[in-house]
Amino acid sequence: MTEKRRILSGIRPTGKLHLGNYLGALRNWVDLQNDGGYECFYFIADWHALTSDYNRTEEIRENRVDIVIDWLAAGLDPKRSTLFVQSAVMEHAELFVLLCMITPLSWLERNPTYKEMKHELVDRDLSTFGFLGYPVLQAADIIMYKAYGVPVGVDQLPHVELTREIARRFNFLYREIFPVPEPLLTTVPKLLGTDGRKMSKSYDNAIYLSERGKELRRKIESMFTDPRRQRKSDPGRPEVCNVFAFHNIYSPPAEIAQIDEDCRRAAIGCVQCKKRLADRIEEGLRPIHDRQDYYRSNIREVHDIIADGNERARRVARATMAEVRDAIRI
Ligand code: SF4
């Protein structure tokens, strides 16, 4: 039997998951788990949430549990994937400290996301050591598990590159312990929030994985469409319409083709098109909603799953750190 290749990925517990998170990452995590060729470690990156939001911690604990419920509902199976919380595995902090010692400051200062986020998130205090150093914490998270690969979107590539450099530097300075992890590029469908900007909790434009009924319909009704289509009699351009992008994921091919045609010849109005989308999304999310309901009423089970995942992660982390201490002679 060929050995499974280990992969690792995480998410910050900044709020319950939205469709952008699901379609951009989580769905792929489930596929990787079901592929059978990978040993998957998925974690809640709660220390990472502090790197940009150290003064907004009141919801972190609750968000951790909500996210694990969403993971389980979306199809992550705790028997096949290790689901854990970063802060429950103290070894991450120890490896972070050790990697900080060998990471040149210039590698962090040239990180494009660092500059971009400082520019974009003007309401946060990002002038901290923690924020500058978060890619080192990420490197510790990944190499701790000797991961073969990291599923990422294209925007995360510079971080994986930095992790690779840090792993190589450690191996060169002390001893060959860490495999240099590969980025496993995830194709992310181009879906925007209801207002046409990137789907994000902070823009208040997200459709959540837990939304259903009136709440879901109201969000879909408010979605931006083709801006040139002012009246129902104006022909539309599905290729620039965010509603159509969602139809492409949730509707069957014959319906997509019909909407495409009807939109172009103004035979369907946006209101009707959105109603059909709401039906399709609700239908598509129903199995996830049923499982969310199950786990919400069996919350003890969720806590047990997290505790078990933490223990499994700790076992691997302890073994790695024993090797690391020995290599550094500390
Ligand atoms: S009919 Fe549908 S696809 Fe066409 S512009 Fe309106 S919402 Fe978009």
For CA atoms 201, 205, 210, 215, the dihedral sign is positive
Nearest to 288 by CA among 76, 17, 74: 74
Residue given tokens 């495999």 in the structure block: 179
Which of 86, 122, 98 is closest to 13 using CA atoms? Answer: 86
Q: How far is the CA of 223 from the centre of ligand 1 (A)?
A: 10
CB 75 within 8 A of CB 43: no
Under 8 Å between Cβ of 247 and 189: no
Whether residue 303 sits in one domain with residue 279:
no
Lookup: tokens for 176: 């060959």
Per-residue pLDDT at 16:
87
Give the mutation target among 192, 224, 229, 275 for probing the ligand 1 site: most ligand atoms within 8 A of CB: 229
Specify the pTM: 0.92
pLDDT per residue of the chain (330 residues) written in tens, 0 to 9: 568 999 999 999 988 899 999 999 999 999 999 999 999 999 999 999 998 778 788 899 999 999 999 999 999 999 999 999 999 999 999 999 999 999 999 999 988 877 777 777 777 777 789 889 999 999 999 999 999 999 998 888 999 999 999 999 999 999 999 999 999 998 877 889 999 998 988 788 999 999 999 999 999 999 999 999 999 999 999 999 999 999 999 999 999 999 999 999 999 999 999 999 999 999 999 999 999 999 999 999 999 999 999 999 999 999 999 999 999 999
Q: Give the chain's domain count.
A: 2
Cα 84–chain centre separation: 14
CA–CA separation, 71 and 143 (whole Å): 23
Q: Could you tell me if 25 and 9 are in contact, meaning their C-beta atoms sit under 8 angstroms apart?
A: yes
Which CATH number do you get for residue 57? Answer: 3.40.50.620
Nearest residue by C-alpha to atom 6 in ligand 1 = 270
Q: What is the pLDDT of residues 174-192, one digit of tens each?
A: 999 999 999 999 887 788 9
Inside any domain, residue 206: no
Q: What is the rounded CA–CA span in Å between residue 207 and residue 250?
A: 14
Pocket test for ligand 1, best of 194, 219, 234, 243 (most atoms within 8 A of CB): 243
Say if CB 28 and CB 151 are below 8 A apart.
Answer: yes
In a domain, 205, yes or no: no
Give ligand 1 pocket residues (Cβ under 6 A). 225-226, 229, 236, 238, 241, 243-244, 259, 263, 268, 270, 273-274
246 and 180 in a common domain: no
If you take atom 7 of ligand 1, which residue's CA is the nearest one?
270
Domain of residue 234: give its range: 211-293
* Closest CA to ligand 1's atom 1: 270
Q: 307 and 269 share a domain?
A: no
Distance 233 CA to ligand 1 centre (A): 12
User: Which distant-in-sequence residues (6+ apart) come within 8 Å of 259 by Cβ?
Assistant: 238, 244, 247, 251, 268, 273, 276
- Domain shared by 151 and 245, yes or no: no
Same domain for 222 and 135, yes or no, is no
Would 95 be classed as within a structural domain? yes
- Nearest of 31, 29, 83, 2 to residue 302 by alpha carbon: 83
Which whole-number Å values give the CA distances from 286 to 171, 209, 223, 251, in the listed order?
48, 10, 21, 14
Q: Same domain, yes or no, for 317 and 282?
A: no
